[in-house]
Amino acid sequence: MTMTVAQLAESIGATLLGDGAGAVARGSGADDASAETVVFALTPPLFEQAVASAAGAVIAGAFAAQYAGPKPVLVAKQPKLAFARAVKLLAGAPPATGGVHASAMVAPTAALGQSVSIGPHAVVGEGVAIGDRTQVGAGVAIGDGVRIGPDCRIHPNVVIYAGTEVGARVVLHAGVVLGSDGFGYVMDEETGAYEAFPQIGTLRLEDDVEIGANTTIDRGALGATVIGAGTKIDNLVQVAHNVRIGRHVAISAQTGIAGSSSIADRVIVGGQAGIADHVRIEEGVILGAQAGVPTSKILRGKGVVFWGSPARPLPGVLREQATLARLARKRGRE
Amino acid sequence: MTMTVAQLAESIGATLLGDGAGAVARGSGADDASAETVVFALTPPLFEQAVASAAGAVIAGAFAAQYAGPKPVLVAKQPKLAFARAVKLLAGAPPATGGVHASAMVAPTAALGQSVSIGPHAVVGEGVAIGDRTQVGAGVAIGDGVRIGPDCRIHPNVVIYAGTEVGARVVLHAGVVLGSDGFGYVMDEETGAYEAFPQIGTLRLEDDVEIGANTTIDRGALGATVIGAGTKIDNLVQVAHNVRIGRHVAISAQTGIAGSSSIADRVIVGGQAGIADHVRIEEGVILGAQAGVPTSKILRGKGVVFWGSPARPLPGVLREQATLARLARKRGRE
Amino acid sequence: MTMTVAQLAESIGATLLGDGAGAVARGSGADDASAETVVFALTPPLFEQAVASAAGAVIAGAFAAQYAGPKPVLVAKQPKLAFARAVKLLAGAPPATGGVHASAMVAPTAALGQSVSIGPHAVVGEGVAIGDRTQVGAGVAIGDGVRIGPDCRIHPNVVIYAGTEVGARVVLHAGVVLGSDGFGYVMDEETGAYEAFPQIGTLRLEDDVEIGANTTIDRGALGATVIGAGTKIDNLVQVAHNVRIGRHVAISAQTGIAGSSSIADRVIVGGQAGIADHVRIEEGVILGAQAGVPTSKILRGKGVVFWGSPARPLPGVLREQATLARLARKRGRE
pLDDT in tens, C155-197: 999 999 999 999 999 999 999 999 999 999 999 999 999 999 9
φ and ψ of A62, to 5 deg: -60, -25
Of chain B, the percentage scoring pLDDT greater than 70 comes to: 99
Tell me the mean pLDDT in the region A226-235. 98
Q: Are C131 and C148 in contact (CB under 8 A)?
A: yes
Best residue of C290, C329, C330 to probe chain B, by most B CBs closer than 10 Å: C290
Q: Are A215 and A233 in contact (CB under 8 A)?
A: yes
In order of A200, B13, B56, the CA distances from B50 in angstroms are 19, 20, 10
Q: Between C5-12 and C79-91, two packed helices, what is the crossing angle to 10 degrees? A: 120
φ and ψ of B320, to 5 deg: -65, -40
Tell me what ipTM this predicted complex has.
0.96
In chain A, how long is the greatest CA-to-CA distance?
83
Write out pLDDT tens, residues C45-74: 999 999 999 999 999 999 999 999 999 999
Tell me B220's DSSP state: P
Q: Are B196 and B181 in contact (CB under 8 A)?
A: yes
| DSSP state letters, A230-297 | T-EE-TT-EE-TT-EE-SS-EE-TT-EE-TT-EE-TT-EE-TT-EE-TT-EE-TT-EE-TT-EE-TT-
Mean pLDDT across chain A: 96
Q: What is the pLDDT of residue B96?
A: 66
User: In chain C, positions 243-272, which contact chain A (CB-CB < 8 Å)?
Assistant: 254, 256, 258, 272
How far apart are the C-alpha atoms of B296 and B281, rounded to whole Å? Answer: 10
Contact residues, chain A, for B81 at CB < 8 Å: 186-189, 195
List the beta bridge partners of residue C141. C123, C159
Q: What is the pLDDT of residue A92?
A: 86
In chain C, how long is the greatest CA-to-CA distance?
83
Q: What is the pLDDT of residue C334?
A: 65
How far apart are the C-alpha atoms of A218 and A199, rounded to whole Å? Answer: 9
In order of A175, A234, A306, the CA distances from C259 in angstroms are 21, 12, 21
Q: Are B148 and B130 in contact (CB under 8 A)?
A: yes
The residue count of chain C comes to: 334
∠ CA A63-A65-A69, rounded to 5°: 110
Tell me the mean pLDDT in the region C289-310. 97
List the beta bridge partners of residue C292. C274
How far apart are the C-alpha atoms of A302 and A185, rounded to whole Å? Answer: 36
Q: What is the pLDDT of residue A195?
A: 96
Catalytic-role residue among C121, C241, C248, C278? C241
Q: For residue C63, with 0-12 CB atoms within 10 Å meaning exposed, 13-18 middle and 19 or more buried, which class applies?
A: middle
Which among B70, B24, B46, B69 has a CA at the least distance from the CA of B61?
B46
Q: What is the pLDDT of residue B330?
A: 87
Catalytic residues of B: 241
List the beta bridge partners of residue B262. B244, B280
Of residues B80, B120, B155, nearest to A105 (C-beta): B120
Q: How many CB atoms lie within 10 A of CB C226?
A: 20
Tell me the mean pLDDT in the region A75-93. 94
Which positions ≥6 away from A185 have C-beta within 8 Å? A194, A195, A196, A197, B232, B250
**Res B98 pLDDT > 90:** no
Beta strands across the sheet bearing B256-257? B105-106, B123-124, B141-142, B159-160, B177-180, B216-218, B238-239, B256-257, B274-275, B292-293
Q: Give the confidence band of C98 by pLDDT, cuts at 50, 70, 90.
A: confident
| Contact with chain C for residue B240, Cβ under 8 A | yes
Q: What is the pLDDT of residue C333?
A: 75
C-alpha B130 chain-centroid distance: 21
List the beta bridge partners of residue A187. A194
Tell me the mean pLDDT in the region B169-192. 97
Write out pLDDT tens, residues A88-105: 999 887 666 679 999 999
Query: Strands C15-17, C73-75: parallel, antiparallel or unpaired by DSSP?
Result: antiparallel
Q: What is the pLDDT of residue C22?
A: 96
**Going from the N-terminus, what domains does chain B have, and what CATH number goes with each?**
3-91 (3.40.1390.10), 99-315 (2.160.10.10)
Best residue of B195, B269, B326 to probe chain C, by most C CBs closer than 10 Å: B195
- H-run or E-run covering B232: strand B232-233
Q: Report the amino acid identity of residue B10.
A: E
Contact residues, chain A, for B138 at CB < 8 Å: 105, 123, 141
User: In chain B, positions 282-321, which contact chain A (CB-CB < 8 Å)?
Assistant: 289-290, 321
The residue count of chain B comes to: 334
Write out pLDDT tens, residues C142-163: 999 999 999 999 999 999 999 9
Q: Report the amino acid identity of residue C48.
A: E
User: In chain A, positions 112-151, which contact chain B (CB-CB < 8 Å)?
Assistant: 121, 123, 139, 141
Write out pLDDT tens, residues C210-222: 999 999 999 999 9
Write out pLDDT tens, residues B247-306: 999 999 999 999 999 999 999 999 999 999 999 999 999 999 999 999 999 999 999 999
Q: How many CB atoms lie within 10 A of CB A7?
A: 15
For chain A, the straight-line distance linking the first and the last C-alpha, in angstroms and rounded, comes to 70
Which positions ≥6 away from A178 have C-beta within 8 Å? A158, A159, A160, A161, A164, A166, A172, A203, A205, A211, A217
How far apart are the C-alpha atoms of C60 and C41, rounded to whole Å? Answer: 5
Q: What is the pLDDT of residue C8?
A: 97
Tell me the mean pLDDT in the region B80-84. 97
How far apart are the C-alpha atoms of C258 and C273, rounded to whole Å? Answer: 11
How far apart are the C-alpha atoms of A174 and A157, rounded to whole Å? Answer: 6
**Res C330 pLDDT > 90:** no
Of residues A188, A195, A214, nearest to B214 (C-beta): A214
Q: What is the pLDDT of residue A97?
A: 66
The C-alpha R_g of chain A, in whole angstroms, comes to 25
3-state secondary structure chain C: CCEEHHHHHHHHCCEEECCCCCEECEECCCCCCCCCEEEEECCHHHHHHHHHCCCCEEEECHHHCCCCCCCCEEECCCHHHHHHHHHHHHHCCCCCCCEECCCCEECCCCEECCCCEECCCCEECCCCEECCCCEECCCCEECCCCEECCCCEECCCCEECCCCEECCCCEECCCCEEEECCCCEEECCCCCCEEECCCCCEEEECCCCEECCCCEEECCCCCEEEECCCCEECCCCEECCCCEECCCCEECCCCEECCCCEECCCCEECCCCEECCCCEECCCCEECCCCEECCCCEECCCCCEEECCCCEEHHHHHHHHHHHHHHHHHHHHC
Phi-psi category of residue A54: left, alpha or beta, with phi > 0 → left and psi -120 to 50 → alpha:
alpha
Tell me the mean pLDDT in the region A64-76. 96
Mean pLDDT across chain C: 96
How far apart are the C-alpha atoms of B184 and C317, rounded to whole Å? Answer: 28
User: In chain A, positions 196-215, which contact chain C (CB-CB < 8 Å)?
Assistant: 208, 210, 212-214
∠ CA A12-A16-A17, rounded to 5°: 155
Tell me the mean pLDDT in the region A99-119. 97
Query: Strands B268-269, C305-307: parallel, antiparallel or unpaired by DSSP?
Result: unpaired
Pairs of CB atoms within 8 A across A/B:
169
Q: What is the pLDDT of residue A96?
A: 66
Write out pLDDT tens, residues B202-218: 999 999 999 999 999 99
Q: Does B254 sit within 8 Å of A177, measured CB to CB? A: no
The residue count of chain A comes to: 334
| Residue C203 or residue C329, greater confidence | C203
Q: Give the confidence band of C1 by pLDDT, cuts at 50, 70, 90.
A: confident
How far apart are the C-alpha atoms of C184 and B156, rounded to whole Å? Answer: 30
Which positions ≥6 away from C226 have C-beta within 8 Å? C203, C204, C206, C243, C244, C245
Contact residues, chain C, for B222 at CB < 8 Å: 27-29, 32
C-alpha A7 chain-centroid distance: 30
Q: Does A180 sit within 8 Å of B174, measured CB to CB? A: yes
Contact residues, chain B, for C85 at CB < 8 Å: 195
∠ CA A310-A311-A317, rounded to 5°: 100
List the beta bridge partners of residue C176. none
